[in-house]
A and B are shown apart, each in its own frame.
Chain A
């Protein structure tokens, strides 16, 4: 299981974010001399189009997103229709992934499980990036003492081990006798992931802002009397958002893994919700006699995480001018 704290983004991204922003201005300057002015983004796009890893990961992600939106495109079987006569049957022509203990079709459940897993991943990422970016850009741009306070505050959260933190949060929010509703539990899982992961996004944003703040065009804008809000939105944000986006892509994969981890521990999503993590948690006792119950949902988690990490890597390479 993955720990989003260890997302390859972390400190590496932070350093490259600073360097990247430093280079940005030069790229912009030099592009003036070319016939057709090209922005960082169109440059990156040209680079990405030629990368096979980018294409492959994009295709995988597209399929999984489609699965999440219209699972019925892939299967007509009800994921909650149990047939005990088929309990633990291995993969066959009728059920490509076999049946689980309750006689549910594993293939149908894997298709329907994409939605919950992906929803948690997307919401957690959006929330992490939003909180992290806002606090990061504020800390980077603001005067030093606010920066120090915010950074130390983030360090507190960064210091909590992810799994331990999530266990504490989720078990505190739900008394053992309670049976939280589906939306409530999804919200809680998303919130606990975001609360424990935002410092990474914040650090990346902060270091990018610190560098961008020193650029001449920012100083010029300030000299012309632009308001801080305008400087942040018009000048800083466009030049600092790239490293955070790279982090977000990689983190999305990691958060899907985190969902599976929490469900496995019995504190994340739980039945009757169907998610890959729930499927893995249900199959742990039957691995010896029915390995297909575990291997297929685990495979989906792995492939999805891999696709997002690959995508993130490709985007980072394309956005980092130094690597060209």
Chain B
């Protein structure tokens, strides 16, 4: 993944940018009653920013639609984001570098044309080609030949329009060669830019944009800008994630508050996130009762110690600060229960997550913290830096107060005006104290919580952390073709990082959405989306 796609959470809503996949997450709710298999479901939406093409849209409003219109090679499982073959018959590799992908036959696009291997290769080449200026173009970066079609320098002309790493073998088989071994490529191809495109798109892109044709569970019916996007069930759909209703109305709202009122009144059926005003004092629980939906998300909040500040090179100080943080209390009060305390560097709900990796160092223990602080010999003032907008200030100010009380030293929250300004400080390695380091993963893999953050020179290694042992294990894990074995390696690295504590895990966001009374069941996914296949409409 390139830097531009690294999804640092600026606002809670930004989490929704990262992924939009057909997968399931944590909780769903069901209530008894007769089901209407041809019912209509209306969901909360925002006006898509770009055309409804797989690689053109990365923001939440558009990817919601694109996700329903197209199906990819793999889907994500509800419980832990692990993958299952959706359109793929098999994906095999021996070295995590060359992947042999066979696709299921018999699938068709909404216009009746069969889905062939060539449709994937063409769509991926289209997405990666710099001149097509697709938002998600950088997602194709791991594929060999990417730099030829999409040079790093924005002004440079691409020398080719096809990636050398993609090769069509037959109608149902193609080969992907990566530029370096990457064991999580199988997970990445579940993301929307890796969708296939029908031949009709390449024949007339303009007409296609007006009426997109995909291979997903829903087909496009109509679109009224800033008001409504209507989709309908595609009856010839062959995938496992078939939907159990007929029409999907994506209602476009400009305000979450309005949508929330509609939801409570039964005029809207599903929202994947609730407005802040509903979360204060857990008002939504009183409003909605058992219609509330929860899910684990792909986010990990942490406070990084910039190791280029000499004081923080003392591991005892880092441990003391971590143990002085009353995560339980802060998540319950200041964060109004929309977060849960973190116990490691990987959030729960990710394949490979282990309970309590951070162990006692992430458990509130003021006595031990004080003792460690004395051993570290640190005196002076601590600061936590962050942007102060978007509700970032309150939990960190509370964190500082917790540290102050437990350790008896001064701690102050230092706010930058906005997210961009704050990231400028972090990227320029100009932190003078601890800094907020919240991460939102690009795809549901343990790898994405470790490589970019803790590898030497990682794109978002805010601590400037460098441990040769960790680097070595991560590299081995990347090159391990068998995903179970790769995850074992990543877990090993995770434990080493937890020992060094280059940043302290704080809390993980809980997805909170809601359904209306008109639905019997609904499910919120780990990507903060609706699981379309889980909707059941009341008869």
Please judge, given known A-B contacts A84-B334, A177-B424, whether A101 and B418 are in contact too, CB under 8 Å: no
Bound CA–CA A259/B281 (angstroms): 30
CB neighbours of A176 from chain B (8 A) = 416-418, 420-421
Kindly state whether residue B283 has any CB partner on chain A within 8 Å.
Answer: yes
CB neighbours of A285 from chain B (8 A) = 276, 280, 391
**B315 → chain A closest CB, angstroms:** 27
| The stretch of B101-109, B110-118, B397-405 that contacts the partner chain | B397-405
Kindly state whether residue B483 has any CB partner on chain A within 8 Å.
Answer: no
Bound CA–CA A82/B417 (angstroms): 24
CB neighbours of B2 from chain A (8 A) = none
Kindly state whether residue A288 has any CB partner on chain B within 8 Å.
Answer: yes
Map CB proximity to A onto B403-430 as digits: 1 under 8 Å, 0 otherwise.
0110000001111111011101100001
**B281 → chain A closest CB, angstroms:** 4
Kindly state whether residue B254 has any CB partner on chain A within 8 Å.
Answer: no
**B418 → chain A closest CB, angstroms:** 6
Map CB proximity to A onto B327-346 as digits: 1 under 8 Å, 0 otherwise.
00110011000000000000
Q: Are A266 and B388 in contact (CB under 8 A)?
A: yes
Minimal Cβ-Cβ distance residue in A for B276: A285
Contact partner, A179, options B329, B394, B414, B418, Cβ 8 Å: B414
Bound CA–CA A83/B337 (angstroms): 17
Kindly state whether residue B92 has any CB partner on chain A within 8 Å.
Answer: no
Bound CA–CA A225/B416 (angstroms): 61
Q: Are B416 and A177 in contact (CB under 8 A)?
A: yes
**A218 → chain B closest CB, angstroms:** 53
Contact partner, A84, options B277, B280, B401, B414, Cβ 8 Å: B401
Kindly state whether residue A260 has any CB partner on chain B within 8 Å.
Answer: no
Contact partner, B402, options A84, A175, A270, Cβ 8 Å: A84
Map CB proximity to B onto A256-292 as digits: 1 under 8 Å, 0 otherwise.
0000000000100011100000000000011011100
Map CB proximity to B onto A158-186 as digits: 1 under 8 Å, 0 otherwise.
00000000000000000111010000000
Residue from A103, A176, A286, A290 having most chain B Cβ neighbours under 10 A: A176
Contact partner, A266, options B394, B401, B417, B421, Cβ 8 Å: B417
Minimal Cβ-Cβ distance residue in B for A171: B417
CB neighbours of A271 from chain B (8 A) = 393, 397, 413, 415
Q: Are A272 and B412 in contact (CB under 8 A)?
A: yes
**A241 → chain B closest CB, angstroms:** 42
17 contacts between A and B (CB under 8 A): A84-B329, A84-B330, A84-B333, A84-B334, A84-B398, A85-B329, A85-B333, A102-B334, A176-B416, A176-B417, A176-B420, A176-B421, A177-B425, A266-B417, A272-B412, A289-B280, A289-B283
**B431 → chain A closest CB, angstroms:** 11
Q: Are B401 and A102 in contact (CB under 8 A)?
A: yes
Q: Which of B316-336 contact A (CB under 8 A)?
A: 326, 329-330, 333-334
Contact partner, A102, options B281, B326, B394, Cβ 8 Å: B394
**A280 → chain B closest CB, angstroms:** 15
CB neighbours of B420 from chain A (8 A) = 176
Kindly state whether residue A87 has any CB partner on chain B within 8 Å.
Answer: yes
Kindly state whether residue A315 has any CB partner on chain B within 8 Å.
Answer: no
Residue from B329, B397, B412, B417 having most chain A Cβ neighbours under 10 A: B417
Kindly state whether residue A309 has any CB partner on chain B within 8 Å.
Answer: no
CB neighbours of B416 from chain A (8 A) = 176-177, 179
Bound CA–CA A179/B387 (angstroms): 11
Q: Are B280 and A288 in contact (CB under 8 A)?
A: yes
How many chain A residues sit at the interface, stated as a range, is: 20 to 34
Bound CA–CA A85/B328 (angstroms): 11
Bound CA–CA A101/B414 (angstroms): 18
Q: Which of A162-216 contact B (CB under 8 A)?
A: 175-177, 179
Bound CA–CA A271/B393 (angstroms): 10
Bound CA–CA A285/B404 (angstroms): 25
Please judge, given known A-B contacts A82-B398, A102-B394, A288-B280, whether A87 and B417 are in contact too, CB under 8 Å: no
Map CB proximity to B onto A80-119 as digits: 1 under 8 Å, 0 otherwise.
0010110110000000000001110000000000000000
Bound CA–CA A272/B401 (angstroms): 12
CB neighbours of A179 from chain B (8 A) = 414-416
**B456 → chain A closest CB, angstroms:** 26
CB neighbours of B276 from chain A (8 A) = 285
Please judge, given known A-B contacts A82-B401, A82-B405, A176-B417, whether A101 and B281 are in contact too, CB under 8 Å: no
Minimal Cβ-Cβ distance residue in A for B424: A177
CB neighbours of B334 from chain A (8 A) = 84, 87, 101-102
CB neighbours of A266 from chain B (8 A) = 388-389, 417
**B351 → chain A closest CB, angstroms:** 34
Residue from B280, B415, B421 having most chain A Cβ neighbours under 10 A: B280
Bound CA–CA A85/B333 (angstroms): 8
**A75 → chain B closest CB, angstroms:** 19
Bound CA–CA A85/B334 (angstroms): 10
Bound CA–CA A266/B330 (angstroms): 24
Bound CA–CA A273/B488 (angstroms): 49
Q: Are A84 and B417 in contact (CB under 8 A)?
A: no
Bound CA–CA A176/B404 (angstroms): 27
Q: Are B333 and A88 in contact (CB under 8 A)?
A: yes
**B410 → chain A closest CB, angstroms:** 10
CB neighbours of B393 from chain A (8 A) = 271
Minimal Cβ-Cβ distance residue in A for B421: A176
CB neighbours of A289 from chain B (8 A) = 280-281, 283
**B214 → chain A closest CB, angstroms:** 40
Bound CA–CA A39/B333 (angstroms): 63
CB neighbours of A84 from chain B (8 A) = 326, 329-330, 333-334, 398, 401-402
Q: Are A102 and B413 in contact (CB under 8 A)?
A: no
